[in-house]
Amino acid sequence: MHELAIAESIVEGVTRHAQECRAQRVTSVRVQIGEASGIVNDSLAFSFEMIANMEPLLNGANLVIERVPHRARCRHCNKEFDVIHFIAQCPTCETWDTNIISGTELRILDMEIEASKD
Partner 1 sequence: MAKISIVQNILAANDDVAREIRQTLQARGLRTINMMSSAGAGKTTLLEQTIRHLNGRLRLGVIEGDVETAADAERIDAAGGESVQIITQGACHLEAHMVRAALTQIDLEAIDMLFVENVGNLVCPAGWDLGEDLKAVVVSTTEGDDKPAKYPHMFAASQVMIINKIDLLPYVDYDLSAVKRFALAVNPRLRIFELSCRTGEGLAAWYEWLLAFAHAKTEVSEEAEVGG
97 contacts: CB under 8 Å, gap ≥ 6: 74, 75, 76, 90
Distance between CA atoms of 44 and 54, rounded to whole angstroms? 16
Give the Cα separation of 106 and 118 in Å (integer): 34
Contacts of 47 (CB under 8 A, 6+ apart): 3, 4, 6, 7, 8
Among the residue ranges 52-60, 61-69, 73-81, 98-106, the one whose residues contact partner 1 (CB under 8 A):
98-106
One of 37, 47, 71, 74 touching partner 1 (CB under 8 A): 37
Stretch that binds partner 1, among 51-59, 60-68, 74-82, 102-110 (CB under 8 A): 102-110
Query: 2 near 34, Cβ under 8 Å?
Result: no
Determine the Cα–Cα distance for residues 60 and 107; give it in Å rounded to an integer.
21
- Residue 89 is a binding residue for partner 1 (CB under 8 A): yes
Does position 109 bind partner 1 by CB under 8 A? yes
Instruction: By CB under 8 A, tell whether 77 contacts partner 1.
Output: no
Minimal distance, residue 113 CB to partner 1, in Å: 6
- Interface ranges with partner 1 (CB under 8 A): 1-2, 5-6, 9-10, 12-14, 17-18, 21, 23, 27, 31, 36-38, 85-89, 96, 100, 104, 106-115
